């Protein structure tokens, strides 16, 4: 154990990197010491890919990997899978759509279960991401579960948040506007070969027009068809340009959000859902949730 935690992550040693991530993911003894010893990184290379289910996030991620590696970049991908609320295991497992990259020397792919996290991410996604940053990957892509407005947690983790929509998302825009729609650094309208794609893009621009006037720049909207790779090269160029555009205030806000989440998790680590369930089962008669939680707050 001590030998492993003296190891410095390296993108060329996938086996050791996988072991380190597993031990961090499972909060093995000594993992906090290991994290404190990680070298600092100033890279602004974390791409968050989010959006409603069925938007084609996995297919888009697969196509984006191809564009980035074609330019000689190394890429790490974290796929957050939904998990069972009972045993917390992943329901989907590794992504079949990305199977062609599993043996590529410049691509590391890891699936993580959300383990019931309401934000659509893994409870230790920040820690795992920092391990990948220390390993020296040029780009890190995080693909989320796709759970709706609660998925805005990705905005506190990614340097560049990419929201993926499809032409049929028109009826969902107003419900997403208060959350998911406001976190985007770039919008991707995927499956743009479908009818109504151009009209959807026009309506999206009109809806976002008031927000554009309040921001330093207009949020790009990119049409893609990930299945045929159409438009993915243009998306890659925008992401590379945006990598150098992250301002200091936004970066500080991102780091503050990460620090807040880590501190919150630390204060909550003595709570266990199974213990709560057992305590609830021992309750007799009428049950008052607010009286119950006073034991822990």
Distance between CA atoms of 190 and 200, rounded to whole angstroms? 11
Distance between CA atoms of 192 and 167, rounded to whole angstroms? 7
pLDDT tens, N- to C-terminus, the chain (297 residues):
445 555 677 788 898 899 999 888 888 888 888 988 888 776 778 999 988 888 899 899 999 999 999 999 999 999 887 655 544 544 554 455 677 888 899 999 998 875 555 445 677 888 899 899 999 999 999 988 665 544 556 777 788 889 899 998 765 565 555 556 667 889 999 999 999 899 989 988 887 776 555 556 688 999 999 999 999 999 999 999 887 666 567 667 777 877 887 888 788 878 888 889 999 998 877 888 888 888 887
- pLDDT per residue as tens digits for the range 94-120: 455 677 888 899 999 998 875 555 445
Distance between CA atoms of 211 and 205, rounded to whole angstroms? 10
Could you give the strand order of the β-sheet that contains 139-143, starting from the edge strand earlier in sequence? 107-113, 75-81, 139-143, 46-50, 160-165, 186-189, 221-223
Residue 103, classed as helix, strand or coil, is coil
Indicate the domain borders of the chain: 41-246
Partnered with residue 79 across adjacent β-strands are 111, 143
Residue 109, classed as helix, strand or coil, is strand
Find out whether 223 and 192 touch, Cβ atoms under 8 Å.
Answer: yes
pTM of the model as a whole: 0.81
- pLDDT per residue as tens digits for the range 257-296: 778 878 887 888 788 888 899 999 988 778 888 888 888 8
Residue 269 CB burial class (10 angstroms; 0-12, 13-18, ≥19): exposed
Long-range CB pairs of 270-276 (<8 Å, 24+ gap) are 271/296, 273/116
CATH code 3.30.160.160 for 41-246: no
Close Cβ partners of 175 (under 8 Å, ≥ 6 residues apart): 149
Phi and psi at 109, nearest 5°, equal -120, 135
The whole-number pLDDT of residue 93 equals 47
- pLDDT per residue as tens digits for the range 81-101: 765 554 454 455 445 567 788
């Amino acid at each position: 154990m001590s030998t492993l935690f003296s190891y410095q992550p390296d993108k060329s040693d996938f086996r050791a990197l996988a072991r380190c991530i597993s031990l961090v993911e499972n909060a093995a003894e000594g993992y906090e010491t290991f994290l404190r010893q990680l070298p600092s990184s100033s890279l602004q290379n974390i791409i968050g890919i989010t959006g409603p289910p069925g938007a084609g996030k996995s297919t888009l991620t697969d196509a984006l990997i191809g564009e980035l590696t074609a330019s000689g970049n190394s890429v790490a991908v974290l796929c957050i899978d939904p998990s069972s609320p009972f045993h917390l295991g992943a329901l989907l497992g590794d992504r079949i759509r990305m199977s062609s990259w599993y043996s590529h020397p410049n691509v590391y792919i890891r699936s993580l279960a959300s383990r019931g996290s309401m934000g659509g991410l893994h409870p230790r996604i920040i820690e795992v991401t920092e391990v990948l940053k220390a390993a020296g990957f040029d780009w890190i892509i995080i693909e989320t579960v796709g759970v709706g407005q609660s998925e805005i947690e990705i905005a506190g983790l990614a340097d560049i948040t990419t929201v993926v929509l499809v032409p049929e998302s028109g009826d969902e825009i107003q419900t997403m506007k208060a959350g998911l729609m406001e976190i985007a650094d770039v919008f991707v309208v995927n499956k743009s070969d479908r009818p109504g794609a151009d009209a959807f893009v026009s309506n999206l621009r009109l809806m976002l027009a008031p927000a554009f006037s309040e921001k330093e720049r207009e949020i790009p909207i990119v049409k893609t068809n990930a299945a045929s790779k159409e438009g993915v090269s243009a998306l890659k160029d925008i992401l590379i340009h945006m990598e150098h555009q992250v301002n200091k205030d936004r970066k500080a806000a991102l780091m503050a959000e990460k620090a807040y989440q880590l501190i919150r998790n630390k204060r909550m680590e003595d709570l266990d859902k199974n213990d709560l369930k057992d305590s609830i089962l021992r309750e007799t008669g009428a049950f008052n949730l607010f009286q119950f939680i006073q034991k822990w707050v």
